[in-house]
Amino acid sequence: MRKIAFSVFALLLIGISLKGQILSQFTFEDPGNNERIAAIGPNATSSGTNAFCQLSGTSGKGCNAGESCTLCNSFCYSNINLIVPNLGSIFDVPEIDVSIDYRHFPNTCSGGQTEVDAWFFQRGNFAFGLQGGRLAFSYTVDQAGLPFHVRNGNSPCNLPNGTLTVQQCFGCDSTQFSPVRRIIQDGIILDNQWHNYRFTYTQSDGLARIYIDGENIYTQTTACYITPGDPLRWVGAPAAIAIGPNMDGMGNNVPIIDNPTIGTPVPLPIKLSRFEGKIVGVKSHLVWETQTETNNDFFTVQRSTDGEHFAEIGKVKGSGNSSTPIEYSFVDDNPQKGSNFYRLKNTDLDGKYEIYQTIELYYDSKASGLISLYPNPVNGAELHIQFEAGTDMASGVQIFDLSGREVLFQKSYLSKGIHNLILEVGQLPEGMYIVKMVAGGKVYTDKFLKTSQE
């Protein structure tokens, strides 16, 4: 594995995130307010009885489900239910990228109740939208005759941070294909504002991904039933795709969807296998690893203190093209007191970008911590340990060789503040050593390489 490290510098970058081929798109800007008129692809053949285009979409008009009688009468709610025909089999694709702008309104007549079960898109076993008031999706893939086994109805997946729960595996055929179903807890944003929700399935890596407002909040692991190369399965599915088939907006009589788009995904420039960080002293140390890279230009590191508004704090050059794991690192020299949210934005050589999921680090400015160990490697007589003491405290530093034998011990009393401890290591033979520092009831470890003196 190669490792690439860069330090912090500020940069402002603008990127464009694009789909592959757009098969169908509705912008609801028809002068006659006809919601069935498509901007790209075939027009809808039918829609909900009272659906129509109306101002107050994301930038112009959006689609309103309408109502058939007075507000607050649940029997009067009407669905959007745009039916888009599969002309020329345009939707029979091996991979898919669907997105929609949606705002989630509570119904003021029912104590703030919100829409619970409402798909954005649906075609046979493929669905993406709301289920049980949470963001959910389901899809089916062909597995080329390979066996598929349900493990007692439970998922073998390692799901991130408890964010996702498996609802069920349904209709599983042990020799042909496997349906996959997920629910994202609290994935819908309940602020009455427009947000973009996107689902992709890419055949090349067999992974499903979910994005909210451009940020990749979930990437399915390869352990979750699917293997790279599996295409979507449309056999037995209805020809048409339904947009908002059971979406009524709780009868609020306002536009609730805009810009529903169906297409095929652009291959991602990288496959990110991990992104993690830790606070070391007064700095945030971030590490991430790519499994593969294609046409990869650079990473932008972004930071936020509220998890919503991100600013760019630095850039790390990508490796272009690679089929082997590469590890990158980045140091934020000035984390903010309290929560620091970090995310990666990856841009390829064509200017397309992806934003990956967020991690959180908490910085306590009053805490103690090891800041740095230098020089490393050390070829002189002195090794320096920079340490920040949150309060007055006693400390002890031990150095061990790789056999576990203690070769140096030094005690110190540290007042509150940053200290530079000097260890005399000129007498040590060449080799790798472990440093163990005990201070304030905590243990800090690091390692250094001793080389010959020049």
Question: Can you give the pLDDT at residue 454?
Answer: 57
Rounded-to-10 torsion of CA 111, 117, 121, 125: 170
Backbone angles phi, psi at 69, to 5 degrees: -155, -150
Report residue 190 as tokens: 């309940």
Cβ(248)–Cβ(118) under 8 Å? yes
pLDDT in tens, 327-344: 999 999 888 888 899 999
Report residue 424 as tokens: 């005399």
Distance between CA 173 and CA 170 in Å, rounded?
9
Cβ(102)–Cβ(197) under 8 Å? yes
Residue 263 CA to its chain's centroid (Å): 20
Distances from the Cα of 160 to the Cα of 163, 268, 275, angstroms: 6, 20, 12
The closest of 95, 323, 355 to 204, measured between CA atoms, is: 95
Question: Can you give the pLDDT at residue 19?
Answer: 54
Using only C-alpha atoms, the chain has a radius of gyration, in whole angstroms, of: 27
Instruction: State the greatest distance between any 2 C-alpha atoms of the chain, in Å, as a whole number.
Output: 90
The closest of 361, 380, 384 to 372, measured between CA atoms, is: 384
Q: What is the identity of the amino acid at 373? A: L
Residue 314 host element (H or E): strand 311-322
Cβ(209)–Cβ(219) under 8 Å? yes
Cβ(204)–Cβ(267) under 8 Å? yes
**Bridge pairing between strands 113-114 and 106-107:** antiparallel
Cβ(210)–Cβ(188) under 8 Å? no
Question: Can you give the pLDDT at residue 319?
Answer: 94
Question: Can you give the pLDDT at residue 192?
Answer: 81
pTM for the full predicted model: 0.64
Cβ(307)–Cβ(358) under 8 Å? yes
DSSP secondary structure code for residue 322 in this structure: E
Question: Can you give the pLDDT at residue 180?
Answer: 45
Question: Can you give the pLDDT at residue 369?
Answer: 63
| CA atoms within 13 A of residue 225's CA, in its CB half-sphere | 31
Rounded-to-10 torsion of CA 370, 372, 378, 380: -90
Distance between CA 5 and CA 193 in Å, rounded?
39
Question: Can you give the pLDDT at residue 433?
Answer: 93
CB neighbour list of residue 342: distance below 8 Å, 6 or more residues apart: 277, 284, 286, 301, 302, 303, 332, 358, 359, 360, 361
pLDDT in tens, 113-152: 567 788 999 998 788 888 777 788 888 777 654 433 222 2
Rounded-to-10 torsion of CA 344, 349, 352, 356: -20
Domains identified in the chain and CATH numbers? 2-15+268-363 (2.60.40.10), 22-263 (2.60.120.200), 369-450 (2.60.40.2550)
Distance between CA 329 and CA 334 in Å, rounded?
16
Distance between CA 192 and CA 428 in Å, rounded?
66
Burial of 339 (0-12, 13-18, 19+ CB in 10 A): middle
Instruction: Count the Cβ atoms, other than its own, within 10 Å of residue 316.
Output: 19
Angle at alpha carbon of residue 83, lines to 82 and 86, rounded to 5°: 140
Grouped pLDDT means (10 residues each) for the chain, 454 residues = 39 37 95 95 95 92 79 68 95 94 74 74 88 79 50 33 29 34 55 89 82 81 60 82 90 89 87 86 87 92 87 94 93 86 90 83 66 82 85 89 91 86 91 88 84 72
Cβ(211)–Cβ(220) under 8 Å? no
Question: Can you give the pLDDT at residue 235?
Answer: 72
Cβ(137)–Cβ(99) under 8 Å? no
